[in-house]
């Protein structure tokens, strides 16, 4: 069987989809899975039957994982809260995410240890999204006691439960609004992972370097492209990029991870590290960069793919792009199968898959190899890559965002090379800011000029007739 991992992944995903559409008892599915597993163990020598049973087991595994994701433990905080009861709750826990100020509110996730209501205390688990109406200096890992009401997130959309469903995929079912300081009691203790705290501190320090050397708007764009911090980007800019189909450049993805791997490997090579040591240290740096940038789906995908390629290089084997992509998807879906219905997850993987699948076929169709003019060949290749990604994501974007943007193909041909240069300049600016701050000023001017050029080109493209169509 060619690419067995891809076939198994397809059946695993089908299992998740079917489990979401068909109501089946969890324990009934578990019983069937155990029976199938026993038959798989007994029928190893019968190749065809063994293959059918393995694929069926992968189907059941996907369905069981989704069903299990909806099964919350008895101590989960959602089980202690009656919706629309207007009760006042006292929560004890620690901040499980770096607080972010956006839309005039401070947001963070509280991982709860204890809940108190009506003078009764219970140990509990789970996470609550906290929405504060004022600014407050809070940090990841800080222990807090919060007093207030708890409610379900609003829907905001008719499709798939909207915002409520988005939070549920992250394991968050409740929101606590905080209006004043009297609702917060700081415990002067810290919890959470030391590695995560260190990565968040490093991200904050690197972001300060960027903001020290660039004006507010270019700094927010570069922070998004290099560190995955998008909260400072004005709504007008993000809307403009959505219309042009270039908003993906504001997301840390495979290109950024590739730059980090290349720069670390090059530095270690200059320092004469042995080959195995370079690969292992590069892998560790990729994991740290993944944590620094928030471990979003595109970063996890790119990191897992990078680790697969590094492992293949370590074992002196050629890595397969389809197996690497599937490995990244399975890694995310095994941890949280509900991510399959997330639009960001779908776009992240389908865009790469579309490029890998369509680009070689389009390249052969136009007989690109016969082109002898290098500049023309480069432009055509850019067009084909952009068109492949647009073709693969067209239906998903149309269904979810009610927009079709034909200008996307042209926009990405012009914007992506600029974004590449900006990202490279950004990494050099940050590194020089760490080593020799005065040197960072030298790279701030071209970085700012390139970002300004990118925004102007993007604004001009969406003004073209028929650039985008809402429906």
pLDDT single digits (tens) 193-204: 888 888 888 888
Across 213-232, average pLDDT: 88
Query: For 64-82, how does the pLDDT look when each residue is reduced to its tens digit (9 = 90+)?
Result: 999 998 888 889 999 888 7
Pairing mode of beta strands 142-148, 172-178: unpaired
pLDDT value of residue 434: 84
pLDDT value of residue 156: 55
Residue 44 has pLDDT above 80, yes or no: no
Number of residues in the chain: 471
Residue 415 has pLDDT above 80, yes or no: yes
Across 214-235, average pLDDT: 87
Q: Which residues contact 228 (CB under 8 A, 6 or more apart)?
A: 251, 252, 292, 293, 294, 296, 299
Highest mean pLDDT among 14-23, 77-86, 335-344, 356-365 belongs to 14-23
Alpha-carbon distances, residue 334 vs 102, 173, 206, 321, 389 (angstroms): 31, 21, 32, 20, 26
pLDDT value of residue 246: 85
Q: Where in the chain is the domain with CATH 2.40.50.140?
A: 77-192
pLDDT value of residue 87: 84
CATH number of 77-192: 2.40.50.140
Residue 159 has pLDDT above 60, yes or no: no
Residue matched to tokens 């493209």: 461
The mean pLDDT value of the chain amounts to: 86
**At what angle are helices 254-270 and 297-314 packed, to 10 degrees?**
40
Residue 220 has pLDDT above 70, yes or no: yes
Q: What is the DSSP letter of 228?
A: -
Residue of 467, 328, 341 whose CA lies nearest to 399: 341
pLDDT band, very low/low/confident/very high, at 248 (cuts 50, 70, 90): confident
* Range of lowest pLDDT (59-68, 209-218, 226-235): 226-235
* Range of lowest pLDDT (380-389, 402-411, 419-428): 380-389
SS3 53: helix
pTM for the model: 0.81
Instruction: Name the residue with higher pLDDT: 48 or 60.
Output: 60
Across 33-61, average pLDDT: 88
Q: Is the dihedral of CA 58, 59, 64, 66 positive or negative?
A: positive
Cβ proximity of 89 and 148 under 8 Å? yes
- Residues above pLDDT 90, as percent of the chain: 24
pLDDT value of residue 126: 92
> What gap in Å lies between CA 426 and CA 453, rounded to an integer?
15
pLDDT value of residue 161: 52
- Residues above pLDDT 70, as percent of the chain: 97
């Amino acid at each position: 069987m060619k690419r067995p991992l891809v076939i198994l992944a397809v059946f695993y995903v089908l299992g998740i989809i079917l489990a979401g559409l068909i109501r089946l008892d969890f324990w009934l599915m578990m019983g069937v899975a155990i029976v199938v597993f026993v038959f798989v163990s007994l029928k190893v020598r019968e190749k065809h039957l063994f293959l059918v049973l393995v694929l069926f087991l992968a189907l059941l595994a996907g369905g069981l994982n989704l069903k299990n994701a909806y099964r919350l433990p008895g101590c989960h905080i959602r089980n202690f809260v009656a919706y629309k009861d207007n009760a006042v709750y006292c929560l004890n826990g620690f901040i499980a995410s770096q607080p972010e100020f956006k839309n005039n509110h401070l947001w963070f996730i509280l991982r709860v240890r204890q809940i108190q209501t009506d003078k009764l205390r219970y140990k509990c688990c789970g996470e609550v999204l906290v929405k504060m109406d004022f600014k407050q200096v809070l940090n990841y890992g800080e222990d807090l006691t919060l007093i207030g009401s708890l409610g379900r997130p609003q829907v905001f959309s008719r499709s798939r439960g909207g915002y409520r469903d988005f939070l549920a995929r992250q394991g968050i079912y409740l929101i606590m609004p905080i209006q004043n300081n009297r609702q917060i009691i700081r415990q002067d203790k810290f919890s959470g992972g030391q590695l995560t705290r260190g990565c968040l501190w490093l991200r904050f320090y690197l972001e300060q370097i960027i903001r020290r050397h660039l004006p507010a708007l270019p700094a927010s764009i570069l922070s998004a492209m290099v560190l995955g911090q998008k909260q400072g980007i004005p709504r007008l800019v993000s809307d403009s990029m959505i219309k042009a189909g270039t908003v993906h450049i504001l997301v840390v993805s495979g290109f950024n991870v590739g730059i980090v791997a290349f720069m670390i490997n090059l530095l270690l090579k200059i320092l004469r590290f042995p080959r195995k040591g370079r690969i292992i240290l590069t892998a560790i740096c990729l994991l740290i960069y993944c944590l620094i940038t928030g471990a979003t789906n595109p970063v996890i995908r790119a990191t897992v793919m990078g680790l697969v390629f590094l492992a293949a290089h370590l074992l002196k084997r050629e890595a397969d792009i389809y197996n690497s992509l599937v490995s990244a998807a399975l890694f995310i879906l095994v941890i949280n199968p509900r991510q399959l219905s997330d639009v960001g997850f779908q776009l992240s993987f389908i865009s790469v898959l579309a490029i890998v699948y369509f680009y070689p076929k389009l390249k052969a169709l136009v007989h690109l190899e016969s082109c002898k003019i290098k500049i023309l060949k480069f432009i055509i290749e850019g067009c084909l890559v952009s068109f492949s990604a647009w073709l693969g994501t067209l239906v998903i974007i149309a269904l979810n965002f009610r927009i079709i943007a034909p200008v996307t193909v042209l926009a990405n041909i012009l914007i992506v090379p600029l974004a590449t240069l900006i990202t490279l300049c950004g990494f050099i600016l940050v590194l020089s800011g760490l080593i020799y701050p005065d040197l960072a000023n030298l790279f701030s001017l071209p970085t700012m000029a390139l970002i300004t050029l990118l925004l102007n080109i993007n604004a001009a493209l969406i003004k073209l007739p028929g650039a985008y169509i809402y429906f």
